[in-house]
Structure 1
Amino acid sequence: MEFKPNTLYHVYNRGNNRQKIFFNYGNYLYFIKKIEKYLLIHCDLLAYCLMPNHFHFLIEPKEKSQEKEINKAFQIILSSYSQAINKQENRTGSLFQQHTKAKSLEHYGLYAETCFHYIHQNPLKAGLVKEIERWEFSSVKEYTLTRNEKLCNHEKAHLVLNIPKDRSEFLKLSKQVLSEKMKEFIF
């Protein structure tokens, strides 16, 4: 994957053959700890969502981070997580699809803001929750101040993406339905 500083990226991957990658609550927490340990030293995380069979991140590489360091971080996260799940589930083989996607948002204008909200709408669109703030494994709970832990760089998100700081305004904007055209553009 190619990464440049001061550029936002939508990073995503899913289970091989669209299979589950998270089997229980602890798996999500374990994956999040890997993100904290390996990715956050190289990137600012602006949004994330962990779904039963895939994940999404909106990241911006830190100024001094090298492309190879970020790629190595993703390699370590996915490889070590896969090994743990294979052991837990008594399985072998690849857990994730072969290539993690990293889409640069450098020349897309409002796409970054739309992508931010799209990431948070995933559980709602998949029918896992009736309200986006009910999904435990996304950054919505951070932005609505219903979770104490903070993985995301809120200041950068508010500045770069024009994300409202007010909880109710944030939820109102995040719940708006994406147009069909934007859905096609995103994924």
Structure 2
Amino acid sequence: MQWADVFTRREYSEIVCDSLAYCQQEKNLTLYAWCIMTNHMHLICSSPTLPDIIRDFKKYTSKKLIKSIQTNLQESRKGWLLWLFKYAGEASAKNEDYKFWQTGYHPVLLHNNMLMEQKLNYLHNNPVTAGFVEEPEHWHYSSAKDYSGNVGRLSITFIE
């Protein structure tokens, strides 16, 4: 499956943020760090029911994002994006109409402080490494702003 730069549009990133906030409030998701890049996202999070939350999050956001792409009059890539997600859906084992997210998720157990710090730095520096911003806290869709002492887009639980 190809990666598409969907999250270059704020409205699509906002759908993801709103859904994460809902999972925090209603599904017992603890969010420690996050970053939405143009074509993927990273989370450091926990929950007793994490696989279920991720499944529900992906199912909901997939439908909402596809609908948003379909109805967005300013979306110049509409035909290509919908073709790409339709092609991925047809190729999937579930034979879905559209497949937005990759199958599964890639949990990594952060079992010590060194590993936690390494992943936190990687996640927050992703936009810097990609050349989008000079400082991690300048990326709007990231918890780096929170870790720099300001208030970011989503509430987080700090890693200490």
Query: Taking structure 2 as the reference length, what is the TM-score of the superposition?
Result: 0.72
CA contact (8 A) 2:140 2:153 kept: no
Structure with the higher helix share, 1 or 2: 2
The C-alpha deviation readout for 1:77-106, integer Å capped at 9, x for no partner, is: 442344234423352422322332222223
Matched, 1:19 2:4: yes
Matches within 5 A, 1:1-187: 16-39=1-24, 41-61=27-47, 65-67=48-50, 69-87=52-70, 88=72, 89-90=78-79, 91-92=82-83, 93=86, 94-106=99-111, 110-147=114-151, 149-154=153-158, 157-158=159-160
Q: Which amino acid aligns with 2:59?
A: I
CA distance in 1, matches of 2:138, 2:147: 13
CA contact (8 A) 2:34 2:143 kept: yes
Runs of 5+ unmatched residues, structure 2: 73-77, 87-98
User: Identical aligned pairs, as a percentage?
Assistant: 20
Runs of 5+ unmatched residues, structure 1: 1-15, 159-187
Structure with the higher strand share, 1 or 2: 1
Q: Which amino acid aligns with 1:144?
A: S
- For 1:169, the equivalent position in structure 2 comes to none
Q: Which amino acid aligns with 1:104?
A: L
CA distance in 1, matches of 2:52, 2:61: 14
